[in-house]
Structure 1
Amino acid sequence: MSAAFLASGIAAAASFDCGKAASATEKRICASPRLSSMDTQLTALYQKRATGADAAAWRDDQRAWLRERNQCSDAACLARVYGERLVVLENGAGPFDWQGKWWRVDASGQYGSALTISKVSPRSMQFAFDAFAGANSGALEGNAAFGADQAAHYTGNASDATQNCALTFTRKLNRIEVAQKGDWGDCGAGAGVLFEGTYVAAAQDPNAKADLLKLGVVKTAEQDDAIRKLLGSDYDALVATAGSVGEGSVAAGMPGVTVVSAFVRGIACDTKSTVMYDASGHYWVALWSPQPQSGKGGTSITELRYYTNVAADKKKLPGPIAAQRNQVCPSEQEVVRMMP
């Protein structure tokens, strides 16, 4: 979406002309059919929002989002911020009402949170969170009091060891921004589980399925599409391992090959992955997952499923993946399965 679109103050323009793309961000969007489609969809949704009594506030909100968007330096970041903005614009179209079901905006699929608000009065409201971070979870409920700032405030108590936890619920146009003071332990949640974030109203989780591009495992939509085709039905299982994604590094002994490892917080020893790729469209993927059957002596099994589109490597693991063999949970046995 061009700056001219917002500067005009009129929500009736189409998305920007790629023939006139000037900034690095606009050029990245124009170079990707997926990002271009997201931009067009976002423009249409924004046009519907920027009308009526809140038009000026929505224009300011969109300008702030554009500043955030323009800080992205790659397609992965753009896919993530576009995906999350689409969720904001698509939901909560009716009159604002604190009461109801709210969902945290989360492009990763790894840090979801549901917020239920009830018993709203001019003085206070009841809330209940149900959140997760990977395999870890956390719940918190209580009463938040409305202050002179029109935000609702909650402070924990010593009886349930949450005295160092504080939450602020602030309305921002169609959504609620939750700010948290105190870490996961202070608020009585599992490791890494927080309640802060942007929440939108919806009957069910409105977040789109995560993909490798939004998660930062790969850098382009073309790479994401290629791995999706290579793995088939295992693609979703691969995405599900990307709770914590490492920085891409150069593969030892394989010049020009990038290695990205990922795992799920709380079950990292047997739910993890390694993705390798180069600029020529070659891919090597290792996906570890626990299996329901038991091995010899009743030992649990973790299966390493290996995929590649490099014919010469179909029957052998590349060095960076081979180096991670047998690093599963202590009570588990690793079994390798070479995928066709």
Structure 2
Amino acid sequence: MSAKLTLVVALWLSLPLTAAAASFDCKKAGNDIEKRICASPTISVLDELLAEAYADARQRGDADQLKRTQRQWLSYARNSCEDDACLAQAYAGRLAALTLFPEPSSVRDALYRETTEACFVADNPEGVSCEGEAESTIHVTATGRDRGWVKASLWFFNGHSCTFSGAARSTGDGIRAVQDDEDPEFRCELLLRPTETGIITEASENCRMYCGARGSLDRIELPLLR
């Protein structure tokens, strides 16, 4: 059993049975997830523990950042569960994260890379010609415990591309990098959010200026190479 699951189980076993109540009024449960929470004494207690941990975390760190990550957890982790085992695992993970909040994760050297076919507009029946390979990379270089540098070189259809280079820092939701920090007109903010296999990016509006017509720094998923 992992340390975070051990912590959750220990907390649950320490509570009296009468404490098995969700953080909301079960009479007003409005969807299948809420009804499943209310139907399980275990999940009900986990839900109440989570509400308490969330309230404590709000007192320690950035409330807006915490709210964003909580909404993401609700949408992509908890609300995607179809059984109690999945819910228990989701709650255990979130409880562990809230316990650590707002401690930043370390920035570490990493290379995210994907190789695809190099395709161009062509004068043929298909209108497309693919020959050779094109490589998209995002390289993270650590310069301190929670500081670093991010370089991105992304390739898209018909030779369009994006480039990015900026100082980065670790935040509660990933690694946030900025190019042209001192010029609001050209300032581009790029967030590298971790996934199970690598990262997915979120880019500000100004980042479009660093891309060709068919390119984008936003919502790019790349696997971790090393």
The alignment's TM-score, normalised by the length of structure 2, stands at 0.41
Specify which structure has the bigger relative contact order, considering alpha-carbon pairs within 8 angstroms and separated by 6 or more residues. 2
Higher helix share: 2
The alignment's TM-score, normalised by the length of structure 1, stands at 0.28
